[in-house]
Chains A and B, each alone.
Chain A
Amino acid sequence: MADKPKRPPRFDVKSDGKSGRLVQIGGTAFIVVFAVVLVFYIVTSHHKKTGATGEGDTVRVTSSKLVTQPGTDKPKAVVSFYEDFLCPACGNFERTFGPTVSKLIDVGAIAADYSMVAILDNPKNENYSSRAGAAALCVADESIDAFRRFHTALFSANIQPDERGTSFPDNARLIEIAREAGVVGKVPDCINSGKYLSEVKGEAAAANIKATPTIKINGDEYDWSTPEALVGKIKEVVGEVPGIDGAVTPAST
């Protein structure tokens, strides 16, 4: 408090009277409206730029060695995976093909597009399909490498829940698996807030997927049989790529 009685006050409420009050209210209202509009503008324009990785809710995984169509940066082979984290067939597929797909990505033969679908959502499984799918998108927002580990982990035999089971990993467990895959960051908030739930729930309809896993190579549905056959098929599309030969035998668990 200024203890100088002789100094005249710089502001005097009483001399301003009614108009001073109006200036206060008007000025405050103006600043409030301005701040609100500014913040909403920043938040909404920023939000459009971030959001899901890639097209829709698709996560694209590539390596720096990716073989592209001559003169463009488009990959020669795009393999799309439409998977539900709860579907047993997807688990089998990933446990059999995962290491080979991973190798095809790493040698640059393919760009892998992962779409998380939730066709098995049910209150009985606590909507695990969409929660796990949304969590995968949250992880992908932070790091694609972590997404690959997270994706593999969710399909591993000891984590993927039984479709008819009684216990399903809750969001806290998903956050923990993400942490083990190497990310925290905004992942807990993203999972808890259900940021991508609606996108994952709508993905099957949006991509017209009737069954999982559905695998597409450059948009054409691919009828998968063995990892060796997949490697052969990719070679037909992209030709010889160093290191492409040979499927990777999954580690027996």
Chain B
Amino acid sequence: MTTPASAPEPRPGVRVAAPGAWWVLIAGAIGLAAAMTLTVEKIEILRNPSYVPSCNINPVMACGSVMVTPQASILGFPNPLLGIMGFTVVVVTGVLAASKVTLPQWYWAGLGIGLLIGAAFVHWLIFQSLYRIGALCPYCMVVWAATILLLVVVSSIVFRALPERREGGSKAGMAGLLYQWRWSITVLWFTAVILLIVVRFWDYWSTLV
């Protein structure tokens, strides 16, 4: 049993396996690209109010009607700016992890907390988009998916780096259970969101078939 009480030597960094690192890098890059596109489209709309964004596909898939809502600038400036900042950090982290640079555990924990806040925000946006605005914005949905995936991957990295409690054993308790079932939970979560979207806009989808 190692108790980390008053350990003077610096904690070892977190070693991230290649798949995890690449996950972080790729998901971060996709999220960054989506946030960039949204920002550029927002600027185009501001420059020319009659501009039709590239993601206005049909009455339901219409980022134009989503981007002009108050929910799209909740802190007083367009939300995608937050995305550009956040996903840039994620991309840099992904690059470092993929090139085997070990980062301290507090760094990964901090990133995990940031992603937790991001995921909470994303779920608020999902709710607003579905039930208050009544339209979907494709790029926003890319950001939703990237944020949720990143939360799962980064929290797994943080969890794996936690000190082992029993020699050779896995970590017990709720967190261990969550970790073990993380991909099942993720798949069910995505299924739930997709089904909410299907049900919410069924009137429209049913006209397409």
Contact = CB atoms under 8 A, between A and B. Distances in A.
Contact of B207 (A2, A35, A189, A198): A198
8 contacts: A1-B175, A5-B165, A10-B177, A12-B170, A28-B188, A192-B59, A193-B203, A194-B59
Interface string A189-214: 11011110110000000000000000
Contacts of A24: 180-181, 183-184
Given A36-B191, A193-B201, 10 more contacts: A1-B175, A2-B175, A10-B177, A25-B184, A27-B184, A32-B191, A35-B192, A39-B198, A43-B198, A43-B199
Nearest to A192: B59
Interface residues of B, number: 33
Contact of B195 (A8, A9, A36, A189): A36
B75 interface: no
A190 B172 contact: no
A40 B176 CA distance: 34
Say which size band chain A's interface belongs to: 20 to 34
B171 A9 contact: yes
B62 to A, nearest CB: 9
Contact of A13 (B180, B192, B207): B180
| 4 interchain residue pairs of minimum CB distance | A2-B173, A9-B172, A193-B204, A28-B184
A31 interface: yes
B207 A195 contact: yes
Contacts of A40: 198
Contact of B174 (A2, A192, A198): A2
A55 B136 CA distance: 32
